Copies of this chain bind each other. A is one copy, B any other.
Amino acid sequence: MTVERYGELGSAARILLGPGPSEPDPRVMQAMITPVVGHLDPAFLNVMNDTRDLLRSAFATANRLTVAMSGTGSAGMETCMVNLLEPGDRAVICVNGAFGERMAEMARRTGAETVIVRAPWGQPIDPADVEEALKQGGAKIVAFVHVETSTGVCQPVEEIASCARAYGALSVLDAVSSLGGMPVRIDEWGIDAAYSGSQKCLGAPPGLAPVTLNDRARERIARRKGAVQSWYLDLTLIENYWGEARAYHHTAPISMVYALREALRVAAAEGWEARFERHRRLGRALQAGLAAMGLELLAPREYRAPVVTAVRVPDGVDEAAVRRRLLAEYGIEIAGGLGELKGQVWRIGLMGYSCRWRNVVLLLSALGAVLRDLGIQASVDEALSASAEALAAGD
């Protein structure tokens, strides 16, 4: 092997406007290079305590069991599934996009019987359909996605959660794309278990999965018949490491925990409500601009999340070619469609530190310019005016 062929890391310095990872605040990057200490060092245990407290604040919960799992968002999803389900358990899973599908796949791999409640990709789940599924009886959990990252659709969280509770099932919420950018009120909404990822609206690099479970969910785990199928994601062991016992389980990703703590500190200093408002207003401004440019937004207005927007690709346009040009000519990353929407939509994220007015303006201008160059009718003037108007109106 010739070592010389592996040069220094280039600095691509993208403007990250896909649905995560978002661009971390410079303070977060700085925190990440704090000297590494041992995973049982008292200094690090304090960092874990702070991170847990700040995560409780992000989730608006008093849940004792609130931790950052040592993996990415999907590890958070798997954590909830493997701890809360056992072979033969019935699980109601709401599927209207790629991440609902993923939940169902993970639930199946626990040996649970899955009852799928579907809505078309781009539409929200109907709580009445959830109730219909629950009427069959015996469901242990109802799992659903707050903001479906593949479509930008926001689900009616409270209705689904209260429906689950009425039938004695635990509600399991995917808050990967929403946490830190939209209200996620775990206690007020009666959510029993939720997970997220560090790299979206929380504004840290990818690598950690915040997870919170209330005592109702903890008791379910305590009453399991068999061991959790994953040792790495076994919450009873994890709780002993994050809690008072400090029992060694695995070596936490120290530098990532530094980054998450700082991202949470930055967010809490901004104020959660102010942060949600920033995401809401800039998301609406972006969406107004895109619509004014003549593009069709996938999600219906009342279920449209501000943090990730799916836009239909105009007929005859090669969506990947447009993304390649945005990346090459402007250094802007947006995402393409997943699953059945592959080739049909672009997904634009405004998350965390990436969620700034200048990024909205740049994205609208760059996308407009590329589309016009391809012969598509798209006025950047109209987009920017509509966007500024929406921002001023604050709706």
Q: Chain A residues in contact with chain B, CB under 8 A? A: 1, 3, 6, 9-14, 16, 18, 20-21, 23-24, 29-44, 47, 50, 53-54, 57, 70-75, 78, 82, 102, 105-106, 108-110, 197, 199, 205-207, 227-233, 248-256, 258-259, 261-262, 264-265, 268-269, 327, 333, 335, 338
8 A-B pairs in the complex with CB atoms less than 8 angstroms apart:
A6-B265, A21-B254, A71-B75, A75-B232, A102-B231, A205-B254, A206-B253, A253-B253
B41→A251 contact, CB < 8 A:
no
Number of this chain's copies in the assembly equals 2
Q: Is the CB of A197 within 8 A of B251?
A: yes
Q: Are A33 and B36 touching (Cβ within 8 A)?
A: no
Chain B residues lying within 8 Å of A327, measured Cβ to Cβ, are 41-42
Nearest CB of B to A358, in Å: 17
Contact call B109/A47, Cβ cutoff below 8 A: no
Residues of B contacting A232 with CB < 8 Å?
71, 74-75, 78, 233
* Complex contact A253–B35 (CB within 8 A): no
Contact present for A230 and B109 (CB under 8 Å)? yes
Chain B: minimal CB distance from A328 (Å): 10
Q: Given contact pairs A6-B265, A9-B262, A36-B206, enumerate 5 new A-B contacts (beta carbons under 8 Å).
A: A13-B35, A14-B41, A206-B251, A255-B259, A256-B256
A312 to chain B, nearest CB (A): 20
- Whose C-beta in chain B lies nearest to the C-beta of A272? B1
A206's contact among B11, B31, B39, B109, by CB below 8 Å, is which? B39
By the criterion CB–CB under 8 Å, are A227 and B109 in contact? yes
Partner of A73, one of B32, B50, B250, B254: B250
Which of chain B's residues have a CB closer than 8 A to the CB of A47? Answer: 9
Identify A207's interface contact among B35, B70, B262, CB under 8 A. B70
Question: Chain A interface mostly helix, strand, loop or mixed?
Answer: loop
**Residues in B whose Cβ lies below 8 Å from that of A74:** 231-232, 249-251
Most chain B CB neighbours (cut-off 10 Å) among A71, A205, A231: A231
Residues on the B chain within 8 Å of A231, using CB: 74, 78, 102, 105-106, 109
Contact across chains for A36 and B24 when beta carbons are under 8 A apart: yes
Smallest Cβ distance from A105 to chain B, in angstroms? 6
- From A73, A74, A75, A232, name the one whose CB has the most chain B CB atoms within 10 angstroms: A232
Determine the distance from Cα of A112 to Cα of B29 in the docked complex, in whole angstroms. Answer: 43
Question: Within 8 Å CB of A3, what residues of B?
Answer: 265, 268-269
What residues of B have a CB within 8 angstroms of the CB of A11 in the complex?
34-35
- Interchain CA distance A274-B9 in the complex, whole Å: 24
Q: Is B54's CB under 8 angstroms from A37's CB? A: no
Tell me, rounded to whole Å, the shortest Cβ–Cβ distance linking A234 to chain B.
9
Query: A252: which of B9, B16, B72 is its contact (CB, 8 Å)?
Result: B72
* A12 contact from B41, B105, B109, Cβ within 8 A: B41
Say whether A32 contacts B250, CB under 8 Å.
Answer: no
B-side contacts of A207, CB under 8 Å: 70, 207, 253-256
Cα A24 to Cα B34 in complex, Å, equals 11
CB-defined contacts of A43 to chain B, threshold 8 Å: 10, 12, 14
**A72's contact among B16, B70, B335, by CB below 8 Å, is which?**
B70
User: Of all chain B residues, which has the CB nearest A208?
Assistant: B253
Least CB separation from A13: chain B residue: B35
- Bound-state CA distance A108–B227 (Å) is 9
Q: What chain B residues lie within 8 Å of A252 (beta carbons)? A: 72, 206
Question: In the docked arrangement, what's the CA distance between A74 and B237, Å?
Answer: 13
CA distance A229 to B106 in the complex (A): 8
Supposing A30-B33, A35-B14 touch, asked if A254 and B75 sit within 8 A by C-beta, the answer is no
